[in-house]
Amino acid sequence: MMGSRRGKGDLKVGLAGGSSSKKITSEKSAVASLNQGRGQEITGVTMPTPGTVKGWGFGDRKSVACANVDGEFYAIQGECPRCAFDLFKGDIINDEGFTDLPRIACPTCSTTYSMKSGVHGPPVKRTGLAGFVGNLAKTATINDASSNAVAFSISIDDESGRVFMKEK
């Protein structure tokens, strides 16, 4: 008897009264209009102080690196697309020698990423042990050199102090 109902359809689709592709489309539009277009509300986090980076963890292995640069908040995915190390442990780059500032440099492979757009850029030149480790990481991950990171916009409601984040 148990096997007789197999293959009759998806319970979620039956309850929703439509196809699953329509449901996915409606979920994306709901996220786009979430909180008047400001994105997902982020709770339980503290904002970084000026000139610092903080790592925020969400759900199952999701992390974000949030930086405060001259009073502006920027966020980027938490792990380096090239070597998968924590970007929130990296350095903020605000040097005129780079474009699309501010940038964050991965502490392991030294690849830089724009905090505004997530686009990868030239690596930071490091010396000593950090330079040695960075060169090893570059050699081990040379095929992923052109991967960009996901950037997020951060907004804070002036009245309530609520923090919102959405993908750019």
Q: What are the tokens at 37?
A: 């277009």
Provide mean pLDDT across the span 123-130.
67
5 forms beta bridges with none
What band does 116 get if pLDDT is binned at 50, 70 and 90?
very high
Confidence band for 160, pLDDT divided at 50, 70 and 90 = confident
Q: Does residue 123 or residue 164 have the better pLDDT?
A: 164
> Does 64 have pLDDT greater than 90?
yes
**pLDDT at residue 73, as a whole number:** 93
Residue 66 has pLDDT above 90, yes or no: yes
List the one residue out of 160, 158, 166, 151 whose CA is nearest residue 38.
166
Which has more pLDDT, 83 or 34?
83
* Residue 84, both tokens: 């998968």
Residue 68 has pLDDT above 90, yes or no: yes
pLDDT (0 to 100) of residue 78: 92
Query: CA torsion sign, 106 to 111 to 115 to 120?
Result: negative
Torsion (CA) 108, 109, 115, 119 in degrees, nearest 10: -160
Tokens of 57: 């963890």
Closest CA to 116 of 159, 69, 49, 78: 69
Distances (CA, A) of 75 to 6, 53, 72, 104, 117: 46, 9, 10, 10, 10
Whether residue 165 has pLDDT greater than 70:
yes
Which pLDDT belongs to residue 150?
A: 92
pLDDT in tens, 2-58: 544 444 444 444 344 444 445 445 555 555 556 677 788 888 888 999 989 999 988
Average pLDDT for 141-160: 79
